[in-house]
């Protein structure tokens, strides 16, 4: 659902912002004030995950971009999530269960949390424009999309028991580390780049990082006891990033 | 027409039966040619008509063959060749049985070749009002228009008016005739204005305005009627735009700058006349002392869109406006720009004009898309060349040349004419015309280069005068103990008032958005001494 | 942090790049797409994007009256289900209903199935879904903009914020696949959107709206019967639609003879 939703939103954006009119023989903007072509940009972005199911992330990322033209660039992106934990919702759900006795690895998708990542991506910037806030403050912008691959480390917490027998109140999902693997990832996203001057920019971006997960969780079927259960899924983490960039 | 032709041929054939042997032979051939013509075998028909024309002992047969030879060539798209024989029919005078048809043929060729110079000149030379009265009024109207245009170009305004006012209102060239009449009134208005004859100036401009308005009124000012007018009249959409532009000019000439600005603003953005309208709008706002708007109009004209336009006067106007608002540094910068971009061209233009090159050497500037580096015309600056290429006459020259080249090729490819005298004669006709065209086009280029040279030279002296004035004003500032830098002499005016929220405001930041062109306004520092506002 | 502060300050006071210190150049143009005094009828397809267990697919009808270029009043009807129809009553439980053909916009996500497989379940409040919403919004459009697409096509858009509230009906599905009507109550919403003009009378709209409501559902069964549990839920919708604009200022059509 999550991946479908994000893709839908991006598709909607792309369709919506398609050109309505144009003169094929003339450039729409001559002497473009902010042209990314041939420039580097370093970006520092605080980020937080949005639309997570059971996890939450707050972190920071640093990226170096090089734009071959105004429309196309390459990006190297590293990030670290200094908050990477589970949501309260998970505990609320666990309380409803009567069948978790001795289960340590929950058989749910999207449970893995990201600690750090490194990505290489392509940046495509089809739209250049400007916005005017109350006819007072005009700001030039680029709209861009990113697409690429990389690696990330994920943690997966085990279920810990505060008492012997299962009751509704003695189980917590407190995040004991069960797994800390490095996974190959893919990412896609898009955002707006607000030009402040020829060097400084602000960025607002939505980026989804995902990997294909295939691991053994556990279930307690109440007859044979705890057994392994294969979980396969695309594990998505979608970040909202607000960055400051310096271009040179 | 074909029935008539057949009847004539039958008659000719009948007459041939009682004639001697050779005449009989040409009659039969004439008849054969007519049959070929009727069956659309124009190449074979032309060949036979030519033979009859050259060999028939009977004047009537020769005359008939001559006219239908022209007709066959016209049908083959060989307009220059057709012209030679229509012309022969026409200059033979009313004694030629096809005299009037020959005249009509000339008009058709003029239209096909887009020629408004050579053929009209020929028609004018042999104009016969008594005989022409028998012509179809619509054909006669076209003749009158072409002759009127020719006389207008020769500045024989009253004679031109006589022809132009005789154009039938039902004719497709009626609005063109009205337009030329209006232009003549504008010219006369300007002439009387120079002579400081205010009453006659106003009278001429008023008549021009009336005529331009009459052209616009042909649209009925509603879409359905306008579409009908488009179907009836030649090039009427272009004429409507030109009438609007010239209405603005007429009001400007009268000194009614508010109305002039209204009409200039109606010229559609990005249209052919927009650059002219912007420049003249700049003058109009200047005359109204709306300097911010004047500079705004020029800002569009100096945008990358018009980077290759020859607009020396616009720089002088811009410098003059800066001078009027006491921004002397800015005025000087614009004049320096003028020196770097226009005055710099003078030595090269002078060299070309004084090199005693034959006219044909100048023609390549118009007629070739790419110039060899060895061609002297390759030295002509892009701005100047572009200014020449913008003229509608260039399009006509090019069309004419392409038409001649295509015709020369077509003559060589007609199998029926191989080894014939007809082919030889037609190739000669086309070649002569091509050489003549090269000379005429070259002469046109030379005259225009001379004109551009004089224009720049004229504005160079204007620029020097403005610079001198600036120096004087700056001295006065120093004497008065004021700072020479405008930054220290007054406040920047606030941004222009936005009429209401249905307007969008954007500050200009060195980038030119296509949709903003034409909507620029300047605000400048109030830097004149004593200007406290 | 220092760089963020600096960047924010620079954004707040951008340098106006003029030709010389003694002049400024401005572009002042009549809006190509004026909305003042226009009535706008919009149809959207909306989809919830941040719920974990529920997935809404909705049709939205919006009627706006634009007081001027910046402010508009909007009536909104968002529907995920045929209104005023609940399906068949379950014989032994008068508050439960069955039937699905009129409930095309309600569905549960893979995550819910995943939980069920693991014999877990979220609270009923997390399963509640919007059925129908009727409300009024105030829309404020302080930003206008334009974009070039690969420096070729030109797009003009207005950006707006919207806030409002109205009446909502919600439902949720029990583990036995019967549906429970939670009644009608107030729901507030706020959002952002943009309107891309393609013609003077036609635009494409993209809205993101967050609907917040107090989901009232059956709680756990206790000694004194089933309790009612209330949880504040917020659901973010992305809505893509088309709108048709009527009335307002009649533009001066430029046609020959100019």
Write out the DSSP string of B250-318: HHHHHT-HHHHHHHHHTSPTTSTTHHHHHHHHHHHHHHTT-HHHHHHHHHHHTSGGGTT---HHHHHHH
Q: What residues form DSSP beta bridges with A161? A: A171
ipTM of the complex: 0.79
**Do β-strands A21-22 and B512-513 pair in parallel, antiparallel, or remain unpaired?**
unpaired
* CATH number where B203 lies: 1.20.58
Do residue C150 and residue A138 have CB atoms under 8 angstroms apart? no
Q: Which of A197-211, B343-357, B428-442, C225-239 has the lowest mean pLDDT?
A: C225-239
Cα–Cα–Cα angle for C204, C207, C213, rounded to 5 degrees: 150
| Domain range enclosing B246 | 174-266
Q: Quick one: pLDDT at residue C220?
A: 65
- pLDDT-derived band of residue B441, with 50, 70 and 90 as boundaries? confident
Do residue A16 and residue C197 have CB atoms under 8 angstroms apart? no
Assigned architecture for domain C38-154+162-189+210-247: Beta Barrel (2.40)
Q: Quick one: pLDDT at residue A143?
A: 93
Residue-wise pLDDT for C79-116, tens only, equals 998 887 777 777 777 677 777 778 888 888 888 888 87
Q: Quick one: pLDDT at residue A94?
A: 74
Q: Quick one: pLDDT at residue C58?
A: 92
Alpha-carbon distance of A9 to A6, in angstroms, equals 5
Q: A46-62 b/e with 16+ CB inside 10 Å = b?
A: ebbbbbbbbbbbebebe
Alpha-carbon distance of A162 to C204, in angstroms, equals 55
- pLDDT-derived band of residue A93, with 50, 70 and 90 as boundaries? confident
- pLDDT-derived band of residue A172, with 50, 70 and 90 as boundaries? low
| Residue B499 in contact with partner chain A when CB distance is under 8 A | no
Residues of B in Cβ contact (< 8 Å) with A26: 305, 514
| Residue A28 in contact with partner chain B when CB distance is under 8 A | yes
Q: Quick one: pLDDT at residue C33?
A: 85
Q: Is B77 helix (H, G, I), strand (E, B) or coil?
A: coil
Q: Quick one: pLDDT at residue C61?
A: 95
Q: Quick one: pLDDT at residue A248?
A: 92
Whether B284 is covered by a domain: the verdict is: no
The residue with greater pLDDT, A244 or C81, is: A244
| Residue B504 in contact with partner chain A when CB distance is under 8 A | yes
pLDDT greater than 60 at residue C202? yes
CA distances from B103 to B22, B128, B129 (A): 31, 10, 12
Q: Is B245 helix (H, G, I), strand (E, B) or coil?
A: helix
Do residue B508 and residue C34 have CB atoms under 8 angstroms apart? no
Q: Quick one: pLDDT at residue C251?
A: 61
Alpha-carbon distance of C246 to C39, in angstroms, equals 5
Residues of A in Cβ contact (< 8 Å) with B505: 132, 135
Whether B205 is covered by a domain: the verdict is: yes
Q: How far apart are the first and last CA of chain C?
A: 57
Q: Quick one: pLDDT at residue B210?
A: 94
Neighbours of chain A (3+ CB pairs under 8 A): B, C
Average of pLDDT values for C38-54?
A: 91
Pair B277, B245: CB distance under 8 Å: yes
Average of pLDDT values for B168-193?
A: 93
Average of pLDDT values for B424-449?
A: 88
Which H/E stretch holds residue C153? strand C153-173
pLDDT greater than 90 at residue B355? no
Average of pLDDT values for B132-139?
A: 86
Residue spans of the domains in chain C: they are 38-154+162-189+210-247
Q: What tokens appear for B255 in the block?
A: 């000194």
Q: Quick one: pLDDT at residue C159?
A: 94
Alpha-carbon distance of C179 to C173, in angstroms, equals 4
- pLDDT-derived band of residue B12, with 50, 70 and 90 as boundaries? very low
Q: What tokens appear for B471 in the block?
A: 């120096």
Whether B155 is covered by a domain: the verdict is: no
Percent of chain B with pLDDT over 70: 95
| H-state helical runs in B39-97 | 42-55, 59-75, 79-91
Indicate the residue of B268, B509, B522 with minimum beta-carbon distance to C254. Answer: B268
- pLDDT-derived band of residue B3, with 50, 70 and 90 as boundaries? very low
Alpha-carbon distance of C137 to B285, in angstroms, equals 46
Length of chain B: 533
Q: Quick one: pLDDT at residue B17?
A: 37
| H-state helical runs in A54-197 | 88-94
Answering whether pTM is above 0.90, one says: no
State the nearest Cα–Cα gap between A150 and chain C, in angstroms: 26
Q: Quick one: pLDDT at residue A15?
A: 46
- Chain centroid to CA B214: how far? 22
Q: Is B168 helix (H, G, I), strand (E, B) or coil?
A: coil
Average of pLDDT values for B340-354?
A: 88
Average of pLDDT values for C69-84?
A: 90
Residue-wise pLDDT for B469-526, tens only, equals 999 888 888 887 877 787 777 778 888 888 887 888 999 988 999 989 999 999 988 7
Percent of chain B with pLDDT over 90: 37
Q: Quick one: pLDDT at residue C167?
A: 93
Q: How many domains does chain B have?
A: 1
Q: Which of B180-184, B309-313, B361-365 has the lowest mean pLDDT?
A: B361-365
Whether B200 is covered by a domain: the verdict is: yes
Alpha-carbon distance of C146 to B44, in angstroms, equals 64
Alpha-carbon distance of C152 to B421, in angstroms, equals 57
Q: Quick one: pLDDT at residue C17?
A: 32
Q: Quick one: pLDDT at residue B453?
A: 92
- pLDDT-derived band of residue A48, with 50, 70 and 90 as boundaries? very high
Whether B181 is covered by a domain: the verdict is: yes
Pair C18, C211: CB distance under 8 Å: no
Q: Which residues are within 8 A (CB) of C114 and not within 5 positions of it... i.e. 6 or more apart? A: A107, A108, A109
| Residue A137 in contact with partner chain B when CB distance is under 8 A | no
Q: Which domains are assigned to chain A?
A: 2-16+35-247 (2.40.160.20)
pLDDT greater than 90 at residue B434? no
Residue-wise pLDDT for A49-76, tens only, equals 988 888 889 999 999 999 999 999 999 9
Kindly report the three-state secondary structure assignment for every residue of B481-506: CCCCCHHHCCCECCCCCCCCCCEEEE
| Residue B240 in contact with partner chain C when CB distance is under 8 A | yes
Residue-wise pLDDT for A97-121, tens only, equals 667 777 777 888 888 888 999 999 9
Average of pLDDT values for A70-98?
A: 83
- pLDDT-derived band of residue A190, with 50, 70 and 90 as boundaries? very high
pLDDT greater than 80 at residue A166? no
- B375 φψ region: left (φ > 0), alpha (ψ -120 to 50), beta (else): beta
| Residue C258 in contact with partner chain B when CB distance is under 8 A | yes
pLDDT greater than 60 at residue B194? yes
């Amino acid at each position: 659902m999550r991946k479908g939703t994000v893709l839908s939103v991006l598709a909607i954006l792309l369709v919506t912002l398609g050109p309505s009119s144009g003169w094929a023989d003339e450039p729409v903007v001559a002497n473009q004030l902010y042209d990314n072509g041939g420039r580097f940009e370093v970006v520092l972005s605080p980020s937080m995950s949005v639309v997570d199911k059971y996890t939450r992330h707050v972190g920071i990322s640093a990226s170096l971009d090089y734009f071959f033209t105004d429309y196309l660039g390459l990006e190297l992106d590293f990030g670290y999530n200094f908050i990477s934990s589970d949501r309260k919702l998970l505990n609320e759900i666990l309380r409803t269960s009567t069948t978790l006795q001795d289960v340590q690895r929950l058989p749910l998708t999207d449970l893995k949390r990201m600690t750090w990542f490194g990505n290489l991506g392509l940046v495509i910037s089809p739209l250049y424009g400007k916005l005017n806030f109350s006819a007072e403050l005009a700001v030039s912008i680029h709209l861009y999309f990113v697409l690429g691959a990389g690696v990330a480390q994920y943690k997966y917490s085990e279920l810990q028991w505060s008492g012997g027998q299962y009751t509704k109140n003695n189980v917590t999902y407190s995040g004991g580390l069960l797994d800390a693997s490095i996974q190959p990832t893919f990412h896609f996203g898009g955002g707006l780049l607000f030009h402040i001057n020829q060097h400084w920019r602000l960025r607002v971006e939505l980026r989804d990082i995902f990997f294909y997960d295939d691991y053994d969780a556990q279930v307690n079927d109440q007859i044979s006891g705890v057994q392994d259960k294969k979980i396969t899924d695309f594990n998505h983490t979608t970040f909202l990033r607000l960055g400051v960039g310096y271009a040179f | 027409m074909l029935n008539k032709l057949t009847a004539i041929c039958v008659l000719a054939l009948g007459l041939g039966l009682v004639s001697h042997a050779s005449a009989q032979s040409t009659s039969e051939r004439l008849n054969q040619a007519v049959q070929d013509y009727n069956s659309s075998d124009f190449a074979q028909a032309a060949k036979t008509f030519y033979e009859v024309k050259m060999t028939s002992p009977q004047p009537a047969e020769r005359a008939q063959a001559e006219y239908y030879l022209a007709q066959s060539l016209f049908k083959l798209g060989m307009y220059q060749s057709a012209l030679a024989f229509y012309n022969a029919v026409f200059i033979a005078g009313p004694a030629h049985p096809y005299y009037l048809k020959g005249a009509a043929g000339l008009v058709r060729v003029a239209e096909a070749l887009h020629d408004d110079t050579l053929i009209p000149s020929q028609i004018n030379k042999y104009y016969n009002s008594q005989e022409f009265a028998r012509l179809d009024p619509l054909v006669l109207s076209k003749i009158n228009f072409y002759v009127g245009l020719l006389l207008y170009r020769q500045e024989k305004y009253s004679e031109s008016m006589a022809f132009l006012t005789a154009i039938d209102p039902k004719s497709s060239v009626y609005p063109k005739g009205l337009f030329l009449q209006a232009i003549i009134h504008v010219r006369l208005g300007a002439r009387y204005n120079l002579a400081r004859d205010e009453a006659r100036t106003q009278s001429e401009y008023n008549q021009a305005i009336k005529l331009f308005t009459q052209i616009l009124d042909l649209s009925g000012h509603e879409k359905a009627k306008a579409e009908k007018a488009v179907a009836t009249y030649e090039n009427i959409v272009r004429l409507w735009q030109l009438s609007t532009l010239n209405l603005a000019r007429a009001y400007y000439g009268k000194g009614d700058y508010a109305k002039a600005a209204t009409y200039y603003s109606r010229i559609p953005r990005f249209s052919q006349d927009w650059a002219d309208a912007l420049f003249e709008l700049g003058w109009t706002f200047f005359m109204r002392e709306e300097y911010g708007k004047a500079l705004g109009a020029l800002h569009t004209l100096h945008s990358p869109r018009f980077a290759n336009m020859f607009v020396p006067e616009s720089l002088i106007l811009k410098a003059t406006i800066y001078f009027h608002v006491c921004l002397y540094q800015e005025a000087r910068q614009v004049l320096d720009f003028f020196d770097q971009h226009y005055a710099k061209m003078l030595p090269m233009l002078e060299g070309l004009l004084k090199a005693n090159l034959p006219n044909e050497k100048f023609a390549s500037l118009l007629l070739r898309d790419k110039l060899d580096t060895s061609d002297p015309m390759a030295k002509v600056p892009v701005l100047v060349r572009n200014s020449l290429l913008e003229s509608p006459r260039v399009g006509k020259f090019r069309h004419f040349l392409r038409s001649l080249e295509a015709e020369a090729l077509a003559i060589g490819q007609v199998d029926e004419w191989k080894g014939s005298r007809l082919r030889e004669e037609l190739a000669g006709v086309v070649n002569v015309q091509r050489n003549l065209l090269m000379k005429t086009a070259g002469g046109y280029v030379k005259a225009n280069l001379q004109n551009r040279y004089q224009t720049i030279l004229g504005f160079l002296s204007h620029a020097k005068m403005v610079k001198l004035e600036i120096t004087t004003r700056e001295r006065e500032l120093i004497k008065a103990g004021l700072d020479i830098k405008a930054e220290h002499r007054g406040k920047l005016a606030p941004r222009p008032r936005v009429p209401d929220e249905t307007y969008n405001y954007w500050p200009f930041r060195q980038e030119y958005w296509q949709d903003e062109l034409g909507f620029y306004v300047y605000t400048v520092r109030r830097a004149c001494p004593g200007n406290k506002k | 942090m220092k760089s963020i502060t600096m960047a924010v300050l620079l954004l707040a006071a951008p340098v106006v790049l003029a030709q010389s210190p003694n002049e400024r150049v401005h572009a002042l143009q009549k809006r190509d797409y004026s909305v003042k005094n226009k009535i706008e009828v919009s149809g959207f397809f909306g989809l919830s994007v941040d719920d974990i267990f529920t997935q809404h697919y909705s049709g939205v009808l919006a009627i706006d009256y634009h007081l001027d270029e910046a402010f508009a009043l909007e009536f909104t009807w968002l529907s995920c289900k045929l209104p005023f129809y609940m399906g068949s009553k379950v014989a032994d439980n008068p508050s439960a209903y069955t039937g699905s053909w009129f409930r095309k916009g309600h569905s549960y996500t893979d995550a819910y199935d995943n939980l069920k497989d693991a014999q877990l379940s979220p609270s009923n409040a997390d399963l509640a879904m919007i059925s129908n919403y009727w409300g009024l919004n105030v829309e404020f459009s302080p930003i206008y903009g334009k974009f070039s697409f690969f420096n070729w096509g030109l797009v003009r858009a207005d950006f707006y914020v919207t806030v409002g509230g109205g009446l909502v009906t919600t439902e949720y599905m029990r583990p036995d696949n019967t549906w429970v009507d939670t009644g009608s109550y107030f729901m507030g919403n706020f959002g952002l959107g943009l309107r891309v003009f393609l013609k003077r009378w036609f635009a494409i709209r993209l809205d993101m709206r967050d609907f917040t409501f107090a989901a009232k559902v059956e709680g756990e069964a206790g000694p004194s019967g089933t309790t009612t549990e209330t949880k504040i839920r917020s659901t973010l919708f992305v809505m893509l639609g088309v709108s048709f604009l009527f009335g307002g200022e009649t533009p001066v059509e430029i046609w020959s003879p100019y």
